[in-house]
Structure formats: C-alpha cells, structure tokens
Amino acid sequence: MNINDIKSTGTKATRDGFGQGLLEAGRQNPNIVGLTADLMESLQMQHFHKEFPERFFQVGIAEANMIGIAAGLATAGKVPFTGTFANFSTGRVYDQIRQSVAYSHKNVKICASHAGLTLGEDGATHQILEDIGMMRMLPGMVVINPCDYHQTKAATIAIAEYHGPVYLRFGRPAWAMFTENLPFEIGKALLLASGTDVTIFATGHLVWTSIEAAQELAAQGISCEVINIHTIKPLDETAILDSVSKTRAVVVAEEHQRNGGLGDAIANLLVHKLPVPMEYVGVNDSFGESGKPLELLDKYGLGKKDVIWAVKDVLDRKQK
C-alpha cells in the first residue's frame, strides 16, 4: 500500500476495542472469565459483565489477588482476562505474574489499559513507560500492543484462542482508526506501506504518528516503509530482517521508555543479524507528567516531528 492511501476513518479509544473484543470472545467461548480490580468501566468491561454476570468477578482494589485468582481459574480450565491500568497490571504485580502466571505457564490474559503518556492528566504515577520491558523479559510471555480500535478488538479475540500467558497493552484516549480491513495474526508484523529509504517499525499509538510522519516525508521525497509491530514478543524476525535488508536504515517508534521496549527488541535482533543505522523514538529515561496526550507526546519527543527528525538522522548516518 502507498503511504498516502492510509486514511483515518475516525477516532475511538483502543480500550473500546478491547471491550468489544472481550464481549465477542466471550460469546464464542463459554470458558472466558473477566476480572477487574475496581476499573470495570475504564477498561470497558461492562459490556461483558452485563451479558455474562456469572462469569465476571469484581476483585476490588487488590491487583495481586486478581492475578493469583486468574492463575487459579486458568489451572481449572478457564480463560481469565484481567483488567486494570497498565501500571497496576505489571509493576505492582510483577512477582505474582512471574511466579503464578509466567513460570507456571497459565493461560491468563493480562489486559492493561491507560498505558503510556497518553493517559494524560493523571500524571506520572499512572503513566507507565516500562511495562513492555518488564513483560517481554518474562520467559514465555506474549506481549501485544495494538495500534487502534480495530486492531485491539482483533487482538483481544485472537489471544482468547491462543493458549498461554499474554500481556495485552492498550490506552485511554480516542485515537485514529485505520486498520478495519487489515488482518491480525499474533506474532505477524503488519506491512502498512512499502518504501525504500528507511523502515519505521512502530507499535501502539505511535503507529498513527509514524504514518503521519511518513506521509509528510513522502512529500519531501523520502520513501518510508512503515511496519506495525503489534506483537513485541514473539518478534517477527523474518519480516524485520526482510525489510531492513532492503532499506538498511531503521527508526523504531513506541510510547515507552527507550530502555527495554520494542526498540531494544529490534536492536537486539539487528546487532546480531544485520547491524544498520538505527534511531529510537521513545521516552529518554524520564518519568512523564500531567498534561494533554498530544502535548505530552510532543514534549517527551514522541510527536510527528520527532519521527521525522529520527528518519532524517538515520538517513544521514546511512549515507555516511
């Protein structure tokens, strides 16, 4: 697809996609169970709760217990989906996830909303930017960060079919939608636009930002290949190496610390298999703060302009 053919069809929050996906998955599989730690509507789980009240558990503000109960439900054959903010889904319960879910290989779906800076006004206490790193370090954990409403819905339905622990990360704000008719497969990178000068690998909200940047760069005569890496683990190494062997320059964009996220995952692959100039668009070892989502992305170096600068920087290095 040509970069200029990608259009937004409106805006909706990724968490809305999760809510609809959970409802649909719940209709397909009677073993799916929902749990929340006092954030049912923030996660849009009220639709599932309304239709399947006997398969939904309010745990109260007790995330550690929620993860443990989910592990027990999974042991006995259920497919539990836990729902709370990304901060409380990971850092707060890392040891519970590590021992009771990951090490024990339980079929638990840890569904995490309000990830990253775009949480906005609540500020840094809630804006987790380390969660992808923590989750991808756990052996056997699948880590998915979908980019819009449709992809989040598709990912939610897909993880219900997959057997094993999954971390599904999404966000709070209404965001551009553009993947309605595109496929979703766990572990399969999604080529959004072909290009020749540089590959932009993007995940989550930064996919749309990267598309907008690539469209502006196209007008300046720079051809960007834009690939959506929704599944950070397992990483689609083949797709990444195929693209990079063609463009030989890489920018990675994500709403996460540069440390430990998708950028590090790709750098780790490329340093072994195909070292090329590479730039990160991500938060540079800093906490966030209160503000509006777009203001925050701009201030912390995650805006459209930052993707454009990163592309130009990496092309300079490629030409040297």
Backbone angles phi, psi at 199, to 5 degrees: -105, 130
Pick 140 or 275: Cβ nearer other proteins: 140
The CA distance from 275 to 297, in Å, is 29
Q: What's the Cα-to-Cα distance from 49 to each of 54, 65, 275, rounded to whole Å?
A: 8, 19, 49
Cβ at position 95, least distance to other proteins in Å:
5
Cβ at position 143, least distance to other proteins in Å:
20
Pick 72 or 234: Cβ nearer other proteins: 72
Output the CA angle 249-252-253, nearest 5 degrees: 145
Residue closest to 261 by CA, chosen among 167, 169, 130, 170: 130
Cβ at position 289, least distance to other proteins in Å:
29
Counts for the chain of helices (H) and strands (E), in that order: 12, 14
Q: List contacts with other proteins (CB under 8 A).
A: 33, 54-55, 57, 59-60, 62, 64-78, 80, 95-96, 98-100, 103-106
Cβ at position 73, least distance to other proteins in Å:
4
Backbone angles phi, psi at 232, to 5 degrees: -80, -25
DSSP symbol at 38: S
Pick 45 or 211: Cβ nearer other proteins: 45
How many Cα atoms sit within 13 Å of 199 on the Cβ side? 26
Cβ at position 75, least distance to other proteins in Å:
5
Pick 74 or 193: Cβ nearer other proteins: 74
Residue 96 makes CB contacts below 8 A (sequence gap 6+) with 63, 64, 67, 68, 71
Q: Are 80 and 35 in contact (CB under 8 A)?
A: yes
Which positions are catalytic? 63
Pick 78 or 304: Cβ nearer other proteins: 78
Cβ at position 15, least distance to other proteins in Å:
24
Q: Are 188 and 239 in contact (CB under 8 A)?
A: yes
Pick 78 or 172: Cβ nearer other proteins: 78
Cβ at position 31, least distance to other proteins in Å:
9
Residue with tokens 């290949």: 225
Backbone angles phi, psi at 21, to 5 degrees: -65, -40
Backbone angles phi, psi at 308, to 5 degrees: -60, -45
Pick 54 or 285: Cβ nearer other proteins: 54
What's the first-to-final CA gap in the chain, in angstroms?
30
The CA distance from 103 to 71, in Å, is 11
Output the CA angle 188-193-194, nearest 5 degrees: 95
